[in-house]
Structure 1
Amino acid sequence: MYVPSSSAPAPISADTTSPGALSERTPRVPAERLVAEMVPPPRFDSVRFSTYVPDPDRPSQAEAVTVLADFAAGLGGGATAVGGGARRWFRKAPAAPKGPRGVYLDGGYGVGKTHLLASLWHATPAEPRLKAFGTFVELTNLVGALGFQQTVATLSGHRLLCIDEFELDDPGDTVLVSTLLGKLVDAGVALAATSNTLPGKLGEGRFAAADFLREIQGLAAHFRPLRIDGEDYRHRGLPEAPAPFTDETVTRVAYATPGTTLDDFPTLLEHLASVHPSRYGAMTDDVRAVCLTGVKEISDQSTALRLVVLADRLYDREVPVLASGVPFDRIFGPEMLAGGYRKKYFRAISRLTALARDAKPLAAEG
């Protein structure tokens, strides 16, 4: 089965320093930082193809490792290590890939798609400055910060662009990304992406996809789809979302744990509306744990989508989350989980639940 790298939070000594708050942070992020930070997040710094352990009952996982290793080797030559754990072998670099100039990893949550995408980035024989890695949201934010033409010019010199959590949420993003990727492919940039939606089904259930069928099909033509089956490792053999703590416990831990922020959940949600999502990562700079009081179900879609982005940034940076209120598996109501953005919401629940588990030792220490 796929086994992730250990991500248990480091022990933090007790203190009585007054905690700060995410809702007090409004960072200014220069465009140069957005480009420089297009690398695998800290959680995936050390992952490699050799650390991915395929589930023997899910042959698609081992197949994905082989295909991606060949793809990386084809982008620069040289032998590539393939296989998980002690089972490794070396594959001679194939000729430059023909056909689609990209690979597309489709599968459910927690099957290791981001692990494999980051491994591809690490395995591609090119200098880091010639490889880019970011989420779909971060890519569209980069266009917003640099402008379309400058983004094309900046990324056209890259050998590989990796796009994590590839999802199209509106017609504008469909046309924008279709045009951007088309230009990058023409410039010789190889593409790799992960998503929970097949390329030909992007945008389905969210807008009138039929009106943008040409653009969607154009995107699909750039990729070779690879289906990865399996169950979410974050919940495999583990309990459901941990029970929330009391407000008193959360506050006590926040005051006793250096580097921790303390926020009232509704206040934080209100603050997120005033900060561009491209800055959410910077909001978490130097934060070792997040404490939230009064977590409640979200009924507004825009608010929910902003929380999804924050959850992604916290998960990427392995920031534990200790909370009171409703458990994270009840943060989005049934109607929202049945709507067009349900895949994003399920991903956020999965990741926040994992971070809540990581935070449990803090309550024992605090």
Structure 2
Amino acid sequence: MDSLITRNEGPLAAYRARVSEGALRADPAQAHAAEILQTLWRNLRGYDPKPAAPEAKGFFGKLFGGGKRGSGDLAAPEGTPEGLYLVGAVGRGKSMLMDLFFDTAEVPRKRRIHFHAFMQEAHARIHAWRRANPGADDPIPPLADQIAAEASLICFDEFQVHDITDAMILGRLFEALFARGVVMVATSNTAPQDLFKGKPGRDAFLPFIALIQSRVEVFYLESAQDYRRERIRGLPTWHHPVNGRSERALDAAFLELTGTPQGEPASLQVLGRAVPVGEAARGVVRTSFDELCGRALGPADYLALATHFHTLVLDAIPRLGPENFDRARRFITLIDALYEHRCKLVASAEAGPDLLYEQGENAAMFERTASRLMEMQSQEYLGLPHLP
């Protein structure tokens, strides 16, 4: 089938083409979601608003404070299409469907980004603005101007809110973006009404939830099949020794799990600091043993990694012993965090798990880690749901 013709026909045609080619299994829930995305695709064809920053201060500006210039009214400009919030359990194909939509969307200015990366970028831009504008008190309008100038359609993958700092700026930022005509499409494991649930300060976050629900259609993708677990259950997950063959195996695993050969640089916010963790895509992070265990990281860092990503692709685990026990101790902590949260591990190593730490006074301490590493290769473990 001519890919250009399929692209010009929208995400539904692209989805059907993949099914007919055997690249996807026919799934009624996914087909329904593709139909919803097709409607949005039609509504957005040629969409290119010329955003002008409003002067009136909106509800969130009053709630969270602000400067002389407000973030905008709650209402989007007339004619702005309603966005879409695609929610469902992990592995149901949400990201795949959004990618089909994004690739076919005929919008001059569009962007696809992981929501966590978007918020890190927003914080960095706010910090840079404050440094360039000492004494000014409201970075939200200029931030919204900048984002809206870059894209009138933003597709967010894995929309989640865990950080109070994010929660406190989201309302004003998204009010301002919607007021500038930005359309949002998002995937999430969490329904809008459950975002930031059970966290301190959630009452002040509720107006943001109402705002999202007013500007997007919420669609529940209720596929019964977890395709993500199917993919990883078919993959070898431990490759040794470390050489060109094992590196190629990890390359292939990352591509199979994410659909891309390389991810975007990723970092986690842990206790108010940014922790670089390699490259990531679609909930999979790839990094090296030295990156994770060769520097002074601790339990909170590994917990953040294990809860944020469902799979870790880890390069070049060395043989361990008393001479590098600091690294071995961190590796033990890392594996404990992965195991407790059912995070999957695909790794290259110099030896099998039971031979990584063979002798020395701390070898007995490593026995449980070796046992867990063996269990984490089992089909039973690989079939368990991730605990984010």
How high is the TM-score relative to the length of structure 2?
0.52
Q: Match for residue 169 of structure 2?
A: 176
Measured against aligned partners, the alpha-carbon deviations of 1:235-290 in whole angstroms (never above 9, x if no partner) come to: 22763885645xxx34x3279859x99xxxxxxx99x999835x655799xxxx85
Q: Match for residue 222 of structure 1?
A: 215
Q: CA deviation at 1:143?
A: 1.0
SS at 2:154 equivalent:
strand
**Alpha-carbon separation, structure 1, partners of 2:231 and 2:272:** 39
Q: Is the 8 A contact 1:244 1:323 kept in 2?
A: no
Aligned letter for 2:299? Answer: D
**Within 5 A, what are the aligned runs for 1:53-68?**
53=19, 56=26, 58-68=27-37
**Within 5 A, what are the aligned runs for 1:133-282?**
133-147=112-126, 148-157=140-149, 158-230=151-223, 231-236=225-230, 239=233, 244=238, 249-250=240-241, 252-253=242-243, 276-277=274-275, 280=277
SS at 2:38 equivalent:
helix
Q: CA deviation at 1:330?
A: 6.2
Measured against aligned partners, the alpha-carbon deviations of 1:261-320 in whole angstroms (never above 9, x if no partner) come to: 9xxxxxxx99x999835x655799xxxx85538999x983443224666x58x98xxx77
Q: Match for residue 292 of structure 1?
A: 289
Q: Unpaired segments of 5 or more residues in structure 2?
A: 1-12, 48-76, 127-139, 252-266, 319-330, 353-388
Q: Is the 8 A contact 1:290 1:320 kept in 2?
A: yes
SS at 1:229 equivalent:
coil
**Alpha-carbon separation, structure 2, partners of 1:97 and 1:224:** 17
**Alpha-carbon separation, structure 2, partners of 1:294 and 1:142:** 22
Q: 1:256 to 1:136 in 2, by over 3 A?
A: closer
Q: CA deviation at 1:178?
A: 2.2
Q: What's the RMSD between the two structures over aligned residues?
A: 4.7
Q: 1:118 to 1:98 in 2, by over 3 A?
A: same
SS at 1:236 equivalent:
helix
Q: Is the 8 A contact 2:102 2:155 kept in 1?
A: yes
Question: Is 1:102 aligned with 2:83?
Answer: yes
How high is the TM-score relative to the length of structure 1?
0.55
**Within 5 A, what are the aligned runs for 1:40-119?**
48-50=14-16, 53=19, 56=26, 58-76=27-45, 101-119=82-100
Aligned letter for 2:243? Answer: V
**Alpha-carbon separation, structure 2, partners of 1:99 and 1:159:** 10
Q: 1:141 to 1:104 in 2, by over 3 A?
A: same
Structure 2 residue corresponding to 1:124, chosen from 98, 105, 118: 105
**Alpha-carbon separation, structure 2, partners of 1:283 and 1:191:** 22
Aligned letter for 1:222? Answer: R
Aligned letter for 1:276? Answer: A
Aligned letter for 1:292? Answer: F
Number of equivalenced pairs: 254
**Alpha-carbon separation, structure 1, partners of 2:154 and 2:183:** 6
> Which 4+ runs in 1 deviate beyond 6 A?
96-100, 272-275, 293-296
**Alpha-carbon separation, structure 1, partners of 2:157 and 2:88:** 12
Q: CA deviation at 1:126?
A: 2.2
Q: CA deviation at 1:63?
A: 0.9
Q: Match for residue 362 of structure 2?
A: none
Q: CA deviation at 1:183?
A: 1.1
Structure with larger RCO (C-alpha < 8 A, sep 6+):
1
Q: 1:73 to 1:280 in 2, by over 3 A?
A: farther
Q: 1:308 to 1:132 in 2, by over 3 A?
A: farther
Q: Match for residue 63 of structure 2?
A: none
Q: 1:52 to 1:202 in 2, by over 3 A?
A: farther
SS at 2:209 equivalent:
helix
Q: CA deviation at 1:168?
A: 0.7
* Percent identity for Structure 1 against Structure 2: 19
**Alpha-carbon separation, structure 1, partners of 2:235 and 2:203:** 38
Q: CA deviation at 1:193?
A: 0.5
Q: Is the 8 A contact 2:306 2:337 kept in 1?
A: no
SS at 1:191 equivalent:
strand
Q: Match for residue 137 of structure 2?
A: none
**Alpha-carbon separation, structure 2, partners of 1:110 and 1:150:** 37
SS at 1:110 equivalent:
coil
**Alpha-carbon separation, structure 1, partners of 2:85 and 2:162:** 18
